[in-house]
Amino acid sequence: MNLNPKIFDKDVEQVPIRKGFGEGLVLAAEKNKNVVGLCADLTESTMMHLFKNKFPERFVEIGVAEQNLASVASGMSAMGKIPFISSYAMFSPGRNWEQIRTTICYNDRKVIIAGSHAGVSVGPDGGTHQAVEDIAITRVIPNITIISPCDAIEAKKATLACLDVKTPVYLRLAREKTPVITTDETPFVVGKAQTFYEANKALLKKEKIDVGIIATGSLVFKAIMVARNLEKKGIAANVLNLSTIKPLDTEAILNLAKEAGAIVTVEEHQTAGGMGSAVAEFLASSHPVPIEFIGVQNKFGQSGTPEELIEYYEMGESHIMKAVERVVGRKI
């Protein structure tokens, strides 16, 4: 997978995922002259300023008006542009959900919706700004692709890859610095999940792995750390990086479920309606196995440091570890 060789080092480099979006957008704009950027008064915070500085004539400042943001982009798409719109996930796709549903998706106008500051790791701003419902509300819309990159490098590749996606895209981005897991050489394909940690079955003298961990976004790193620690306890766990949440890579999920016989899903989102729900909906009807869900459980966020909040909302490494133990215990 050509992952970052320093991934297990204490001083692994940390970069905000949204920065990858900013850099990827510049690359996309260099590649295609029809790329335009629209922002609702959060240009620097969503890293769209990198694009704005380089292509000021292709940037539109919408003001604090996310509903307008979505529909103006729809109109620009109708004229042949490829609009990228950015705001915080809480406001876009949060506040402007119906505009995304009707004027973008129903209207079949390709717009890339970059929602930054997703998850509780937004930190001190508090619960109003922590989108933990965004996957659920976008996942139910037909004609949309949802990508949730695990680090800045994957975010850069995902942003560039949006040029070739046929449908509207929701690109889910996190605010905080996140350990860099991937490298420029790590493969990224929209719609394809990648195994980011493979248990050493030979060492553990096992024919099959004990559990499959499916993670997305900023928590993929923690899932990898857990899988590595599980190995020391004699438990074989693979980690699947599910960077595209819709459409689901059903083949990869099915193969993992068949081998492991138990799944833990990990996401910085409500457990209701999120990535784990998508996985469960698929497996329930194709290959039912026990599943445990790591995510926010029916609560709003609050102020704190990202680490404090990840712990409080039970999405830390210890929680993933316990979920693995629970799900392995449930195996028939």
Question: What is the set of active-site residues?
Answer: 66
Task: Return the DSSP state at 234.
Answer: T
Q: Is residue 237 classed as helix, strand or coil in its secondary structure? A: strand
- The percent of the chain in helix, strand and coil, each rounded to the nearest 5, is 40, 20, 40
Rounded Cα–Cα distance for residues 197 and 7 (Å): 11
147 near 189, Cβ under 8 Å? no
Rounded Cα–Cα distance for residues 119 and 122 (Å): 6
Mark residues 21-40: x for contact with another protein by CB under 8 A, - for none: ---------------x----
Taking the complex as a whole, the smallest distance from the CB of residue 64 to another protein amounts, in Å, to 9
Q: Toward another protein, which CB reaches closer, 71 or 216?
A: 71
H/E segment holding residue 278: helix 275-286
* Region 45-74 residues binding another protein, contact defined as CB under 8 A: 57-58, 60, 62-63, 65, 67-68, 70-74
Determine if the peptide bond prior to 93 is cis (ω within 30°). yes
Rounded Cα–Cα distance for residues 49 and 45 (Å): 8
First to last CA, the chain: 32
Q: Toward another protein, which CB reaches closer, 9 or 98?
A: 98
* Region 67-126 residues binding another protein, contact defined as CB under 8 A: 67-68, 70-81, 83, 98-99, 102-103, 106-108
Q: Toward another protein, which CB reaches closer, 155 or 169?
A: 169
Mark residues 269-298: x for contact with another protein by CB under 8 A, - for none: ------------------------------
Taking the complex as a whole, the smallest distance from the CB of residue 223 to another protein amounts, in Å, to 39
Taking the complex as a whole, the smallest distance from the CB of residue 27 to another protein amounts, in Å, to 20
Taking the complex as a whole, the smallest distance from the CB of residue 169 to another protein amounts, in Å, to 17
Counting residues that bind another protein (by CB under 8 A) gives 29
Q: Does 42 bind another protein (CB under 8 A)?
A: no
What's the Cα-to-Cα distance from 166 to each of 82, 109, 144, 155, rounded to whole Å?
Answer: 11, 10, 9, 18
* Region 217-236 residues binding another protein, contact defined as CB under 8 A: none
Hunting for tokens 């004229």 — which residue is that? 79
Show Cβ contacts of residue 94 under 8 Å, excluding neighbours closer than 6 positions. Answer: 66, 88, 115, 131, 133, 134, 137
Taking the complex as a whole, the smallest distance from the CB of residue 144 to another protein amounts, in Å, to 14
Q: Toward another protein, which CB reaches closer, 81 or 129?
A: 81
Q: Toward another protein, which CB reaches closer, 140 or 284?
A: 140
Query: Which amino acid appears at position 174 of this protein?
Result: A
Tokens of 180: 């860099």
Q: Toward another protein, which CB reaches closer, 82 or 227?
A: 82
Taking the complex as a whole, the smallest distance from the CB of residue 52 to another protein amounts, in Å, to 14
Contact residues toward another protein (CB under 8 A) are 36, 57-58, 60, 62-63, 65, 67-68, 70-81, 83, 98-99, 102-103, 106-108
